[in-house]
A and B are shown apart, each in its own frame.
Chain A
C-alpha cells in the first residue's frame, strides 16, 4: 500500500540551478523561489552557503536568502558545508540547514578531499551549533545506488553512513542516486538495508533521471513506505558526470504520478508548470519535464 501523503522537497533553486551552465541573476532566483512558494510546496531548498570559488552559481546566497518572501508553513532549507557556512546561513535568516555525506570513499575524496569519516567529523561542529540554535538539520547521502568512480556501492555502506548521520541528529536522511544509475532492483535492495537502521519516516529519496529510471525508482520507494521525495522543477540540473545527460527528476512529472496514485501532495500542478515555464525562459532552455512538454494539448 502507498502512503496517503507525500512531502515533495523542491530542490530546483539549489541542486537544479547549481548544475545549470548559465549563471542566473539574483532577482530571477528570488522570483523562482517566490513562485514555487505559491504552488503548495512545503519545502523549497533555497541556496547553498558554500564558497563562491567552488560554486559561482550560489555566490549570491545571502541576497537570495534575505530577498525571498518566506511564507508561513513553508521551510527554506539551505546547504551548509561547514560551520562558517552555517553561521552565515543563520545570520542571513535560515531556519533549516542541510549537510552532505556520501556512501563512497572515492567520491568523497574527489569531491572534498577527505574520507567519509573525516567529512562527518567536520559536520560535528555544524550539528552542535544547529542543536544550540534549534535549527533542524537534513542529511544527504550521495551515491546510494552507484558512484561515478567506484561503480557499485554496497547497500550496507549506505546503511552505515545513513545511521551515522541520523544519530548525529539529522531529522531526515535524503538518499541520493547521484548519477541516476539505480533501478527498482537496486533501490529495493538499498532501502531494505537502510530501513534496518533508520526509521522509514525519516527517509527521503533523491532520484536522478539520467537513465530514465527515476519515477520507477521512486515508485518502489513509495511501495516500501518512503513518503518524502526530492525533485526539481522542470527537471533543472544536468548531470556533471555525463555530458549532455539529464539530472534531477522533474517535480511536475513526479506530482503527475502521485496525483494518479491518489497520493496527496498539496501541490498545484498547473502553478508548478507555470513556474517551470518561467525559469526555462529565463535560462533560455527547454524543460526536462515531460508533463510540461505534453501539455500543448490537442
Chain B
C-alpha cells in the first residue's frame, strides 16, 4: 500500500547473479562444492531466480569450468529459476543436457566492447543468439537477454540510448522474455539511467525490463531507485556484492543483494526475500573466499546485531 501510493511497483523480482557474474569476477577459483553450497543456501532465502553458471569455454572463463557439475549438483527448489549463460548453440545444448531449464544470452550496446569481449560485432553476436533462441523456443526454454554497456563503455565511453534500445529490441524480438540492461562499468548516474530508460521503454514493455547495476562509482542504489520510480520491477544483484570490476583495478562491481533488499524493504516493496538469510549466505561465501563482504548492510549488521 505504501509503495503503491508513491507510484512504485509493489513487488520487485530480484535476480541473484552472485554465483555466476559475482564469482566470475573473483580472482580466487572457488571449488565446485562451495559453489553448490552457495547456490543451495541462496535457494532457501526466497530469491525467485539464481543465476547458476555459464556454459562458456573453460579456456575463456576458468572459474566456470565446472559448469556441468554445478548444474547437476545443485538442489532445485520449486518456485526458483536457475538460469545459465549460453553464449552460443554449443553452450546451449550442453546446458540443456546438464539439466538447465532457462538460459541467458549476452549482447552489448557497444561495438568495441562486443569485439573485445567475444571477438565479433554486435550483429554477428545477435545472429548466434538467434540460433540459441530458435532452439530454446522449440524446447520451451525461456531466454533472458542481457545488454552490456547500457550507460557507458570502457572503450567507447559514452553510449547513446538509441543504441541500447536497438539492441534490446533485437533481443526482445528474437524471443527473450526479459531484457536486463547492464551498467557494466558502473559509470551511470540517475541522470543517464533515466535518459536511457525513457528511450528503451519506447521499444520494450516495462514488464520485460530489468536493471543490472554495478556499484563501481557508488551509484548503483540511486540508479536502481530511479529505475524503480520509472516502473522497472526486476533488479539484478549479487550476494555480498561479489565480483569486482575487470576494467578498474581494485574497484567494486556488482551491487550487493543485501543492500538492495534493505532499500526495497524500507520502501515497502515486497521481494519475498529474507534479508537475514541472504546475509548468512553472504557470510558463508566471503568466509570461503577469505574476503570482506562488499555489502554495507552486512558490515553494519554483523557488528551491531541490529538489522
User: Measuring CB to CB, which residues of chain A are less than 8 angstroms from any residue of chain B?
Assistant: 148, 180, 182-186, 188, 209-213, 215-216, 218-220, 239, 241-246, 250, 253, 256-257, 259-262, 289-291, 293-298
Q: Which residues from chain A contact B221 at a C-beta distance below 8 Å?
A: 212-213, 215-216
Q: Which of B217, B219, B245 has the most CB of A within 10 A?
A: B217
Q: Which residues from chain B contact A259 at a C-beta distance below 8 Å?
A: 189
23 contacts between A and B (CB under 8 A): A183-B263, A183-B266, A185-B268, A210-B300, A211-B296, A212-B297, A213-B221, A213-B259, A243-B303, A244-B303, A245-B303, A245-B304, A256-B217, A260-B188, A260-B190, A260-B192, A290-B217, A290-B218, A291-B218, A294-B216, A296-B248, A296-B251, A298-B154
Which residue of A is nearest B218, CB measured? A290
Does residue B78 face the partner (Cβ distance < 8 Å to A)?
A: no
User: B191 contacts A183, CB within 8 Å?
Assistant: no
Which residue of B is nearest A246, CB measured? B296
User: A182 contacts B217, CB within 8 Å?
Assistant: no
CA distance A294 to B143 in the complex (A): 33
Q: How far is the CB of A106 from chain B (nearest CB, A)?
A: 15
Which residue of B is nearest A212, CB measured? B296
Q: Which residues from chain B contact A262 at a C-beta distance below 8 Å?
A: 191
CA distance A211 to B258 in the complex (A): 9
User: A260 contacts B259, CB within 8 Å?
Assistant: no
Does residue B159 face the partner (Cβ distance < 8 Å to A)?
A: no
Q: Which residues from chain A contact B262 at a C-beta distance below 8 Å?
A: 183, 211-213
Q: Which of A148, A180, A216, A239 has the most CB of B within 10 A?
A: A216
Which residue of B is nearest A209, CB measured? B296
Q: How far is the CB of B5 from chain A (nearest CB, A)?
A: 11
CA distance A255 to B218 in the complex (A): 11
**Which of A185, A242, A253 is within 8 Å of B300, CB to CB?**
A242
**Which of A210, A216, A242, A243 is within 8 Å of B263, CB to CB?**
A216
**Which of A242, A244, A290 is within 8 Å of B215, CB to CB?**
A290
User: B248 contacts A244, CB within 8 Å?
Assistant: no
User: A289 contacts B218, CB within 8 Å?
Assistant: yes
Which residue of A is nearest B302, CB measured? A244
Does residue B277 face the partner (Cβ distance < 8 Å to A)?
A: no
Q: How far is the CB of A20 from chain B (nearest CB, A)?
A: 17
Residues of chain B in range 287-307 having any CB-CB distance to chain A below 8 Å: 295-297, 299-300, 303-304, 306
Q: Which residues from chain B contact A241 at a C-beta distance below 8 Å?
A: 304
User: A256 contacts B218, CB within 8 Å?
Assistant: yes
Q: Which residues from chain A contact B300 at a C-beta distance below 8 Å?
A: 180, 210-211, 239, 242, 245
**Which of B225, B250, B304 is within 8 Å of A220, CB to CB?**
B225
User: A290 contacts B251, CB within 8 Å?
Assistant: yes
**Which of A210, A242, A244, A250 is within 8 Å of B218, CB to CB?**
A250
Q: Which residues from chain A contact B225 at a C-beta distance below 8 Å?
A: 184, 216, 219-220
Additional A-B contacts beyond A183-B262, A260-B219, A293-B250 (20; CB < 8 A):
A183-B265, A211-B300, A212-B259, A212-B297, A213-B266, A215-B221, A216-B224, A218-B222, A244-B303, A256-B217, A257-B222, A259-B189, A260-B189, A260-B190, A260-B192, A261-B189, A291-B217, A293-B248, A294-B217, A296-B248
User: B266 contacts A185, CB within 8 Å?
Assistant: yes
Does residue B104 face the partner (Cβ distance < 8 Å to A)?
A: no
Q: How far is the CB of A187 from chain B (nearest CB, A)?
A: 9
